[in-house]
Chains A and B, each alone.
Chain A
Amino acid sequence: MTAATGQPTATRPALRHRLAERGIDRALLLLVPGLIFIAVLFLYPFLYGVGLSFSPQQGGGPFANYRKFFDDPYLRNTLWTTFRLALPAALINVLASIPMAYKLRRPFRGKRTLTTLLVVPITLGTVLTAEGLLEYLAPAGWLNKTLLALHLIDQPIELVHNYWGVLFSLIITGFPFAFLLTMSYLSGIDPTLESAAATLGAGWRERFRFITLPLLAPGLAITFCLSFVLAFSVFPSAFLVGDPSGRTRVISIAAYHAALEQFDFSLGSTIAVIMTVAMLIVIAAVLAWRGTLYKGASGGKG
C-alpha cells in the first residue's frame, strides 16, 4: 500500500511510477482510518452475524434457520410485505422528485423557502411524522372529518394502521432525500445543452426527453437505490402507523421479534442476512441497468 522505493531499472520505469499509473500512491494512506473504522464497526459485526446465522440455536445443520424462514409463511411473507412497501415508496419518491427538481432547477424568487419546506420532513424524523400522520389520517382525524363534512364519503376511510399508513410515512420521510439527490444531479447538467436543443427546434418536452432525462438517468438509478434501501429497512413507521403483527409485518420486525423477543439471535441474524441479500439483488439489478447508460461528463459543474 505504501509507495515503493524500488530501484529503477534501465528499461522499466520506477515501481513508484508504475504503481501510480494504476492509481496506487501515497494518497491511498488517507483511506486507512476509514477502512479501520469500517472493519471495526461494520465488517466485524456483519461477519459475526453471518456466522451466527449458520449456527442455529435449535440445531439441524447450518441451513436450518434459512429453511425455517422460507418454510414458515408467517416469516416468508414478511419479505414480500417489505418489497410491496419499499419498491413503490422508492419509485414514487424518485418519480415525484423528477418534475419537482426539474421545475426548480433554475434560480427564482422564493426558491430557498420552497426547498426548505420540501426538506423539513428530514429533520422531523420517522416518529414525529408517524404521530402527525396518526393525527391527520386517523378515522377521527382532520382528513376524514373534512371529507365527511363535505359528504364526499359516508364513513371514515382507513388510512392508518394498515399498508397505506406505512406507505405515506415512507413517502413523506423518503421524498426529501430523493428530491435533494435529484436536484444535485440536475444541477450537474450544463444548462446550455437545453438551450442548444431549443435552438435546434426542440420544445420543452423533447428537451426533457432527449437531453435532460438521459443525462439524469444514471443519477436517478443511484437515487432509486438509496431510496429503496432507506424504505426497505424502515421499522418505526411500520410499527407506529402500520399493522405490525399483520399486514405490515415487515422483515425488520420479524428480525427484531426473533432476536430481541424470542432471544433466538441466530434466527434474527438469518433474517438480517436474507434482508441484506434481497436489497443487494435489487441494487445489483438497478446498477446493471445503469451500466447500459451514458455516464460520462454532462458538461455541468457536477
Chain B
Amino acid sequence: MTVRARQFDELRLDGVSRSYGGHAALAGLDLTIGCGEFVALLGPSGCGKTTALNCVAGLLPLSGGSIWLDDKRIDGLPPERRDFGMVFQNYALFPHMSVRRNIAFGLRMHKVPKAERDRRVEEAISLVQLNEHAAKFPGQLSGGQQQRVAIARAVALQPPLVLMDEPLSNLDATLRLEMRTEIRRLHQTLGLTTVYVTHDQEEALSLADRLVVLRAGSVQQIGTPEEVYAHPANRYVAGFMGYRNMFELDVIESEQARVVLGGDGLKLRGVNCEAISSGRAVAAIRPEDFVVGKAIANRLEVGVEVVEYHGRDQSVQGRLRTGEAVHFRTDQRLAPGDDVTLSVPEERVLVFSPDTPPPPTEASG
C-alpha cells in the first residue's frame, strides 16, 4: 500500500471562532490533533460542527483565533494551499467527470506527472474497491459507491489531514455500518489523520480515538470514547451519551464522592460528578442500568405505559406517580398498565448540577 499520509507533528486550533452576524456559531475552539489521530466532533444539528470543519479547511474565514500546523500558521491560507482532503456531506462529486477523473482531479491540479497520476488513481480506486465502476459517472452510482469515490478523491493526494463532514448521514442503516468499518479500515491502513464530524454518538464512539463534544458552538468535553461514555463532564454530555432519564431534585446530603437527592417521594443516591453541596441537582440514569423487581436501594415505583419490542429485550416507557417519564430496558415481558419496582446501583446514578449553559439552539444543520 503506497497511499501514505504525509507526516506532521500536530495541528493546533487556538481559540478558533466564527460568528454569523453577531451570532457565534463557533466560540473559541481549542484543540490539538496529533499525527495519525482520529478525532470526532460530536454534537446535535446546528452546534457548529460544519462551521468548525470549514474553518479548518479554509472554506470559511475565521472571526477569531488561529490554526497552526506544527509551527506554521495556516489560517490565512486559501483552501487550495492547505492541502487537506475533505469529504463533503453531499459528497460534492463532479457530475461531469467519470469516477476516475474525479479521483484524478486533485493530482491534476498538483501537476503530478501522468504516469504517476494514473498509478495513484488506480491505487485509490482499488483501495475503495471501485475497480469495475471506474469509468462510470457519479449519477450512475449508488449512495455508498458515491461515498467511496468521495473518500478516494480526498485521500488520493495523500493529504496530511482528512476532514469528513457527516459522511454517512445520507446512507441507509446497513450501508452505514459497512462504511463505518471501511472508514476505520482506511484510517488504520493509511495512518490518515482524520477529523470526523457526526451527530451520531454511536458512530463517534466506535470510530474515534478522541471525541470533542460540542454544544451551541462551545466545547463541552474532550476525551477518549471511554472517558466520555463513562464519565460525561456535565448533564448535557450525559444526555448525549445515552443518559435518557434526568430527574431534577433537591440535594439532601452531600459528601465528597456521593450525594443524596430527594423530593417528590423519590430518593436517589448517586455519584457526585460536579462537587455539588446544596440546592438543586440532576440525577442522570441510562435506561439499561435499571433493574426490574429487586428493590435494594434507589427505588422507583413505575406504571408501565409504552412497550417497544427490540428482539432480545424491550424498551419501556413508564411514569412515576409524580408524572415524570422513566425509560428503562428489560428482558421481562411487561404490558401497559403493569406496576413495577425499579432500582439502580448508586454508582450508575450520575449527579450533575442543573444546566447552566444556554439550552441547545434548535437550528437547522
Contact = CB atoms under 8 A, between A and B. Distances in A.
A3 interface: no
A203 interface: yes
A195 B79 contact: yes
Contacts of A201: 80, 83, 106, 109-110, 157
A201 B85 CA distance: 10
B109 A296 contact: no
A155 B92 CA distance: 58
A296 B85 contact: no
CB-CB nearest 5 A-B residue pairs: A200-B106, A294-B96, A201-B109, A196-B92, A198-B79
Contact of B85 (A197, A199, A299): A199
B153 to A, nearest CB: 7
B207 interface: no
B110 A297 contact: no
Given A199-B79, A200-B105, A200-B153, A298 B95 contact: yes
A192 B80 contact: no
Interface string A193-220: 1011111111100100011001100000
Contact of B109 (A193, A202, A214, A299): A202
A173 B108 CA distance: 42
A156 B210 CA distance: 76
A190 interface: yes
Contacts of B110: 201
B94 to A, nearest CB: 6
Nearest to A206: B109
Contacts of B85: 199-200
B86 A199 contact: yes
A297 B139 CA distance: 8
Interface residues of B, number: 28
A294 B154 CA distance: 23
Contacts, number: 77
Contact of B59 (A195, A203, A211, A299): A195
A195 B92 contact: yes
A198 B77 CA distance: 12
A190 B90 contact: yes
Contact of A296 (B57, B137, B154): B137
B68 interface: no
A206 B90 CA distance: 22
Given A199-B57, A199-B80, A200-B157, A192 B92 contact: yes
A302 to B, nearest CB: 12
11 contacts: A195-B57, A195-B92, A198-B78, A198-B79, A198-B80, A200-B106, A210-B94, A211-B94, A296-B137, A298-B96, A299-B95
Contacts of B154: 199
Given A199-B79, A297-B139, A190 B109 contact: no
A200 B105 CA distance: 7
Which of B82, B84, B106, B110 has the most chain A CB atoms inside 10 A of its CB? Answer: B106
Interface string B45-82: 00000000000011100000000000000000011101
B88 interface: yes
Which of B96, B137, B153 has the most chain A CB atoms inside 10 A of its CB? Answer: B96
A299 B92 contact: yes
Given A192-B88, A203-B80, A299-B90, A198 B59 contact: yes
Contacts of A296: 95-96, 137, 139
B77 to A, nearest CB: 11
B80 A294 contact: no
Given A190-B90, A203-B80, A296-B139, A197 B95 contact: no
A211 B154 CA distance: 17
Interface in B261-289: none
Contacts of B86: 195-196, 199
A202 B81 CA distance: 9
Which of B83, B88, B93 has the most chain A CB atoms inside 10 A of its CB? Answer: B88
B95 A196 contact: no
